[in-house]
Amino acid sequence: MMSLPPHESAPWPSFSFDVTHISSEPGVSARCGTLTLPHATIETPVFMPVGTQATVKAMTPTELADIGFRIILGNTYHLHLRPGEEIVARAGGLHRYQAWSGALLTDSGGFQVFSLAGLRRLGADGVEFQSYIDGSKHLFTPESVMQVQRDLGADIVMAFDECAPYPCTRDYAAEAMFRTHAWAERCVSAYNGAERMATGGWPQALFGNVQGGVFPDLRRESAEFLTSLDLPGYAIGGLAVGEEASARNETIAETTARLPASKPRYLMGVGTPIDIIEAVGRGVDMFDCVLPTRNARNAQVFTSRGVLNMRNAQFNEDFEPLDANCRCAVCALHTRAYVRHLFRANEMLGPRLTTYHNLSFYHRLMRDIRAAIVTGTFGEFRKTFISEYSGSGASSVSVDEATQIVEDGAGPKREAARVRHGRE
């Protein structure tokens, strides 16, 4: 065990996590909690929409709040490249820059540096990489990534980590894990040196990132090491990168079992509705994924009976809502026939409506999950949901099948790199 970092006894101000319900159903490790952050109080398990470039694609902040979201993601890598953290800081931080009054979480940039950057050089200090926008050179170190995230000013920030690709050898996964641990210690030091405060003046909570690929012993070691740093929360990184669902679920169970029960657990980049339900059953509290938003831009609609593709001619005269069981503002007003027409005609309102609906679907899924945990019926909920979702004529879609992206600022270079990931 590591010795605890200097500030080990200081509270993480304005941050708390209370586990409010633990499932006692056999074979279910699900739990509910309340996460208190400077900008919001959040019920867990929670899904966090991804706002890569200071916007959840196609959505206004008001619409996100209307659906019920109180926390969204921003991407450190993308925001560093454009518009740059200095401009965001001068705007008063990312909340103000994008007019989002809820809570924010920024990732570490590690995933993008390792999965997206064409040219990169790994040194003792950090990673040098080229911008996908203009080819300019940038260096990410644990210290610089902490500074970028201070400038952005999210409620939750992530320690810089190395996300190993899948598949990779045990040696590679171990090396990436050890580097992640060393960087986590440097992040903690840098962060404590900055009094754990955002440039905007509010406190930030630093989460560590468990790595170790799909090797159970590495995951155990990583969870134990990071736990020794006594951070306010822990992410499970390096999954949803192409591995089988069974390997993913085993790795999740292995990891959550070694993380402290009193701290929130965040599974990065996952996933489909079924992936999320399975992970909640294994003790995960927080999720993010681009599936509901990205797939929406490809006309794919999540429904209680699986995924429907609105580009299909069968919807030409289908005057039913996207999902008859959905009560979102889109399903209250619009028909499948109309949404199909919008996609055929390349009208922006098409992806707007499907994005709003898909995010509403995910938000309601989490609400239903929480209700099932509280009432002790999570096992039954899981069974019924999966049966209805998978059983109909609609096709299900997995993270690994995430398809081409209609419109996105990043261009084809990024597409190839991330096409199989639930992250951007």
- Annotated catalytic residue 288: yes
The distance from CA 261 to its chain's CA centroid, rounded to whole angstroms, is 20
User: At closest approach, how far in Å is the CB of 338 from its own copies?
Assistant: 6
The CA–CA distances, whole Å, from 388 to 231, 246, 282, 323, 334 equal 39, 21, 21, 13, 23
Which of 351, 381, 418, 421 is in the footprint of its own copies by CB under 8 A?
351
Of the residues 66, 107, 125, 155, which is catalytic?
A: 107
Residue type, 416: A
- Under the criterion CB under 8 A, does residue 98 sit at the interface with its own copies? yes
Other CB atoms within 10 A of residue 194 CB: 15
- Under the criterion CB under 8 A, does residue 333 sit at the interface with its own copies? yes
Selection from 191, 267, 257, 202 nearest residue 234 by Cα = 267
Q: Which span sits near its own copies by CB under 8 A: 21-29, 38-46, 93-101, 141-149?
A: 93-101
Measured CA to CA, the distance from residue 279 to residue 43 in angstroms comes to 16
User: At closest approach, how far in Å is the CB of 68 from its own copies?
Assistant: 18
- Under the criterion CB under 8 A, does residue 314 sit at the interface with its own copies? no
Q: What is the dihedral of CA 33, 162, 156, 282, to 10 degrees?
A: -10
Which of 344, 386, 388, 420 is in the footprint of its own copies by CB under 8 A?
344
- Under the criterion CB under 8 A, does residue 345 sit at the interface with its own copies? yes
Other CB atoms within 10 A of residue 383 CB: 12
Residue type, 34: T
Nearer to its own copies, 2 or 337 (CB): 337
Element (H, E) at 274: helix 273-280
Q: Which span sits near its own copies by CB under 8 A: 150-158, 185-193, 345-353, 378-386?
A: 345-353
Measured CA to CA, the distance from residue 303 to residue 233 in angstroms comes to 32
Measured CA to CA, the distance from residue 283 to residue 53 in angstroms comes to 30
- Annotated catalytic residue 161: no
- Under the criterion CB under 8 A, does residue 338 sit at the interface with its own copies? yes
Whether the Cβ atoms of residue 286 and residue 237 lie closer than 8 Å to each other: no
Q: 74 forms bridges with which residues in the sheet?
A: 51, 106
18's tokens: 């209370």
- Under the criterion CB under 8 A, does residue 342 sit at the interface with its own copies? yes
Q: Restricting to residues 34-73, name those near its own copies by CB under 8 A.
A: 53-55, 57-62
- Under the criterion CB under 8 A, does residue 348 sit at the interface with its own copies? yes
Q: Which span sits near its own copies by CB under 8 A: 124-132, 209-217, 280-288, 343-351?
A: 343-351
Nearer to its own copies, 121 or 327 (CB): 327
Q: Could you tell me whether strands 127-130 and 120-122 are parallel, antiparallel, or unpaired per DSSP bridges? A: antiparallel
User: At closest approach, how far in Å is the CB of 341 from its own copies?
Assistant: 5
- Under the criterion CB under 8 A, does residue 407 sit at the interface with its own copies? yes
> How many of the chain's residues bind its own copies (CB under 8 A)?
40
User: At closest approach, how far in Å is the CB of 271 from its own copies?
Assistant: 24
Of the residues 161, 285, 288, 323, which is catalytic?
A: 288
Nearer to its own copies, 181 or 414 (CB): 414
Whether the Cβ atoms of residue 400 and residue 418 lie closer than 8 Å to each other: no
List, by residue number, the catalytic residues.
107, 288
By the criterion CB under 8 A, which residues form the site for its own copies?
A: 53-55, 57-62, 82-83, 87, 90-91, 97-99, 316-317, 319, 329, 333-335, 337-338, 341-342, 344-349, 351-353, 407-409
